[in-house]
Amino acid sequence: MENLHFETLAIRNQTAQTLQKEHSSPLYLTSSFTFDSAEEGAALFNGDAEGNLYSRFSNPNCDEFTNKLKVLENTEAGIATATGMAAVFVTFASLLKAGDHVVASSAIFGNSLNILKAILPNYGIEHTLVEVDDNNSWKQAIKPTTKLLFVETPSNPTLKLADLTFLGELSKANQLILVVDNCFATPYLQQPSNFGADIIVHSATKYIDGQGRVLGGAILGKQEYIDKCYEFIRRTGPSLSPFNAWVLSKSLETLALRMDRHCENAVQLYQFLETSEEVEKVIYPHSPNHPQYQLALKQMKKGGGLVGCELKGGKERGARFLNALKIHSLTANLGDSRSIVTHPASTTHSKLTEEEQLAVGITAGFIRFSVGLEHIDDLINDIKQALVVSK
């Protein structure tokens, strides 16, 4: 059938039934697959026949997961990786060579930045960092050796947006590869390929799993790029485990439903925070007060499950607020059914000086909420009491 919707594709696009006539896809826990003959084995190894050979190369559970995700991301092909970081690293390692240059936004996941700063220079790959929301700085950073643009939108933790239409056109005009980390939005809220992204990377650990259980990642994009990533994974081994792929493929079945509720809860939370005397500033992409509200409406279907705010009272208040929460979890994750709160100034970014924190947009009282699926009244009541206790 043609023109099926996101929800249907996320559920009905599954591996062919086995002789057992199971309804739900089984878990293929097997390291290798057998050949009917020496000739068939030879053909599989040479790439002259299609089929599974060894689970570092392919596995039905990993294939089901990526076949679904590539359709949801509206791309030609996809490949799964062990983690989100593996997806980011495999993309760089497969598509770049010594002498190449990358332009990336500065507000990206910490370890994506570490790959650019601490690993790629050892292999002769340089980079320039730009402000995610400053189109001109992206343009000016391009050099004759630039090969790839790397961006995360909305960005972490300050929820600034990249202008995907602009980046798609910039990348096309300069024959670059535009890579978008779509972890925060998920394909349900934003499909970067529709704006000209060549590759989409995911940490499936976050909203795609959505329940804080397994690590996983994926790379989606044009066939020629995914073929290169596949070769790299097959040779070097950061493949996704079949068990994690099975969990993640099941999770995709409920992604739309969960994202709708994450977003509904987030809207109620940001609206509450905007009325609170204890809060200086609230950041949510679909709030009319977000500096890029129009852009957010254009490229994101809903505002997402993350809300940022600036508490009055600085760093100590931020830490006291975290300690006073009773329902919210304090943990280094996001996109979970359980609501999570982070205070970058006293945790993830505590090693930076205050000036360095401000340079990446993190003020002393900045709090990031990953709004979960609990009842919103309970979440807001928890925050209310913690605001009082931490005063």
Residues that bind ligand PLP (CB under 6 A): 83-85, 109, 112, 152, 156, 181, 183, 203, 205-206, 215, 217
| Nearest residue (CB) to ligand PLP, 80 versus 386 | 80
Helix and strand numbers (H, E) in the chain are 15, 11
Q: Minimum CB separation from ligand PLP for residue 94, in Å?
A: 17
| Nearest residue (CB) to ligand PLP, 13 versus 112 | 112
Find out whether 318 and 345 touch, Cβ atoms under 8 Å. Answer: yes
Residue 12 CB: number of other CB atoms within 10 A? 11
| Nearest residue (CB) to ligand PLP, 65 versus 387 | 65
Going by C-alpha positions, the residue among 57, 82, 62, 96 that lies closest to residue 230 is: 57
| Nearest residue (CB) to ligand PLP, 61 versus 390 | 61
Q: Minimum CB separation from ligand PLP for residue 151, in Å?
A: 11
Residue with the CB atom nearest ligand PLP in the bound state = 84
In the chain, where do the E strands start and end? Answer: 77-81, 101-105, 126-130, 146-152, 177-181, 199-203, 217-221, 279-283, 306-311, 340-342, 366-370
Find out whether 202 and 85 touch, Cβ atoms under 8 Å. Answer: no
| Nearest residue (CB) to ligand PLP, 55 versus 112 | 112
Phi, psi values for residue 73, rounded to 5°: -90, 0
Q: Minimum CB separation from ligand PLP for residue 110, in Å?
A: 9
Q: Minimum CB separation from ligand PLP for residue 145, in Å?
A: 25
3-state secondary structure of 136: helix
| Nearest residue (CB) to ligand PLP, 203 versus 390 | 203
Per the DSSP assignment, residues forming a β-bridge with 311 are 279
Q: Minimum CB separation from ligand PLP for residue 348, in Å?
A: 11
For CA atoms 357, 360, 365, 367, the dihedral sign is negative
Q: Minimum CB separation from ligand PLP for residue 112, in Å?
A: 6
